[in-house]
Structure 1
Amino acid sequence: MELVKTTGKFYDIQGFSVHDGPGIRLTLFMKGCPLRCPWCHSPESQAFETELNWMEIKCMGVEACGNCIEACPQGAITYGKKKVRAATQEEITLIHVDRDKCNNCGVCETVCTPKALYLCGKDHTVEEIMDRVRRDVPFFKTSGGGVTLSGGECLSQPAFLTEVLKRCKEEGIHTAVDTTGFARWESFEKILPYTDLFLYDLKNMDSEKHRKVVGVPNEVILENARKIAKAGGKFQIRIPVIPRFNDTTEDFQAYGEFIKSLGSAVEVVQLLPYHSMGTVKWERLQRDAPVLEALPPSEEKMERLKDQLVEMGLPVIIH
């Protein structure tokens, strides 16, 4: 089968994006990630397979609907907890999805009247993606924008990613890759000729702490960054500022020293303050996973951390 006929799996496609690289962009969010960050604002991106989501706020309750319970061929959907609807003060019974039984077949999605149940993860061919890309070319041209491949970890689907980037470059479209850095160097090497900019996450400079919290060590991430810089790649380094994980003066001293070692490859360092807006998405997956809930860092703290890196000679913005 030809590569252009194979598919990549995406959990979202977002037009008119202004936070994922220069100008107005089309951001393509690919599914699957080897990291397990407890603050992840898109937990639906982590699994490599298409999976069922349930949006509690949309559920009418089994008294008014309940179609999914009878329709599920696996018997994975049953009566769940009670809830009082704020608007009407009536008590309703929500559903519960047994994730051990659910095989993400999607039958329940087809009978869910309020669309509270939905499958996350859709396969697209390269041609389908390029057709979508071309619709936004006028925005790219007027704003200096382009296409950003993100995730999850888009390098977990390397062949498909490479082909999309190659096709974009053939059509004169600026490309960016938003990555955790945790991938085989061979995959990075293949996309280097077709990638104008890497949006590169650095979560913690201490490898053991990195492993304990997000599930993987950081040596591969740091080494890939060094190799990209040596090969002439360009970076926007992204640091998610997470309370009690990487927000100390010592943490940022280590960040600064490493980023400076990458030299002129680094165009800007972006500090991304933790926020809790993704917490509700974990509930949609009903997944038994550690989820960070903390107060976002103050503006004063963010400015102090920014100033620390600026004093080390780095270009820094708070995103």
Structure 2
Amino acid sequence: METKALTGKFYDIQGFSVHDGPGIRLTLFMKGCPLRCPWCHSPESQAFPTELNWMEIKCVGIEKCGNCLKVCPHGAISPGGKKKSLTGDDEITLVTVDRSKCDNCGKCAEACTSKALYMCGTDYTLDEIMERVRRDVPFFKKSGGGVTVSGGECLWQPEFLLEILKKCKEEGIHTAVDTTGYAKWEVIEPLLPYTDLFLLDIKGIDPELHKRVVGVPNELILENARKIAKAGGKFQIRIPTIPMYNDSVKAFDDMGKFIVELGDAVEVVQLLPYHNLGTVKWERLQRSAPILEATPPSDELMQARKKQLEDLGLNVIIH
């Protein structure tokens, strides 16, 4: 009996990345995340299955196309609102997707002439991923870069993640795991010999606030950070700086003290100012989930929080 090859599900692969670890990197974005951050700039990463996205700006209207209406086997797509055409001379009729009827079969995406409807989430074998990785090896060698496996939350596809890391290390490629840290220690521990750097998000220390806003408690995240440090792992700590959530002096004081506790394991702390560029992606998914829309933190505030952490002896950069 033929054994099915192990696959991993990815929603994006980005070459020439310079913010996901040292040097020039290839970042592999795995699909699926148990957290529900309302400021998430990649909401298409949250659901684990491959899912339908709709990009309004690409839709040419049912007057010129309308193929999706004809091929949907569940009647999930119907005429929707109207908008001006690109020329502005006339109106076109858009479509709307009834998510309660849609099973993400992808037939509408195949029929969509303008690719306004498209599927997010592609399965790859290890050989396919490594074929893509090897194309960037010259950049890795010249810049001291490598491969970063991100998400979503890559720890929730642990078997495939481990195989990527093992294969990269076999071929002398620097590895980084970009993670929320929200997974069982039994998942993380086998990764340690094959992970050169953990890019770990710290979103806050207050456990009740973390659970209420992010959707999961943070005790497991913080404990995993301590265990990784104790085991000799290295960190780039990332703090998404979110208005009305963790941008206060007290919040940074709490986070800073925890990071100091991790000792020499922390190579750098990276502050990531909130931005609202991801809100359009929520529209593509047509979800009713709560979305944070706020004014990004000022340069003055970011510099103040940077200094606050530097005063604790930490190496801090703002992305």
TM bucket (normalised to shorter chain) is over 0.9
Aligned to 2:64: 64
Unaligned runs of 5+ in 2: none
Matches of 2:227 and 2:89, distance apart in 1 = 59
SS in 2 for 1:240: strand
1:157 corresponds to 2:149 = no
More moved, 61-70 vs 9-18: 61-70
Identity among equivalent positions (%) equals: 72
Aligned to 1:38: 38
Q: How does the TM-score come out when normalised to structure 2?
A: 0.98
The aligned runs of 1:133-148 (5 Å cut-off) are 133-148=133-148
C-alpha contact 1:270 1:317 (8 A) present in aligned 2:
yes
Matches of 1:287 and 1:107, distance apart in 2 = 20
Give the Å deviation of 1:81: 1.3
Aligned to 2:196: 196
Q: How does the TM-score come out when normalised to structure 1?
A: 0.98
Matches of 1:125 and 1:39, distance apart in 2 = 31
C-alpha contact 1:29 1:149 (8 A) present in aligned 2:
yes
Give the Å deviation of 1:84: 2.4
Aligned to 1:169: 169
Aligned to 1:261: 261
Matches of 1:31 and 1:23, distance apart in 2 = 24
The aligned runs of 1:43-54 (5 Å cut-off) are 43-54=43-54
1:315 corresponds to 2:315 = yes
Deviations 1:182-233 (A, max 9, x none): 0110111010000000000011111111111110010000000000000000
Matches of 2:74 and 2:297, distance apart in 1 = 44
Aligned to 1:183: 183
Matches of 2:234 and 2:87, distance apart in 1 = 51
**How much is the aligned-residue C-alpha RMSD, in angstroms?**
1.2
Matches of 1:2 and 1:299, distance apart in 2 = 58
SS in 2 for 1:23: coil
The aligned runs of 1:257-296 (5 Å cut-off) are 257-296=257-296
Give the Å deviation of 1:62: 1.2
Aligned to 1:217: 217
Q: Which amino acid aligns with 2:25?
A: R
Give the Å deviation of 1:86: 5.5
Matches of 2:68 and 2:49, distance apart in 1 = 21
Q: Which amino acid aligns with 2:177?
A: V
C-alpha contact 1:50 1:121 (8 A) present in aligned 2:
yes
Deviations 1:226-263 (A, max 9, x none): 00000000000000000000000000000111000000
Matches of 2:152 and 2:309, distance apart in 1 = 28
Aligned to 1:107: 107
C-alpha contact 1:4 1:125 (8 A) present in aligned 2:
no
Q: Which amino acid aligns with 2:269?
A: V
Aligned to 2:123: 123
SS in 2 for 1:5: coil
In the comparison of the two structures, how many residue pairs are matched?
A: 319
Show structure 1 runs of 4+ deviating over 4 A: 1-4
Deviations 1:56-76 (A, max 9, x none): 000011112111011101110
Matches of 1:41 and 1:4, distance apart in 2 = 34
Matches of 1:30 and 1:142, distance apart in 2 = 26
Q: Which amino acid aligns with 2:274?
A: Y
SS in 2 for 1:128: helix
SS in 2 for 1:256: helix
Give the Å deviation of 1:87: 3.5
C-alpha contact 1:17 1:26 (8 A) present in aligned 2:
yes
Matches of 1:212 and 1:134, distance apart in 2 = 42
Deviations 1:80-106 (A, max 9, x none): 112223641422211000111111111
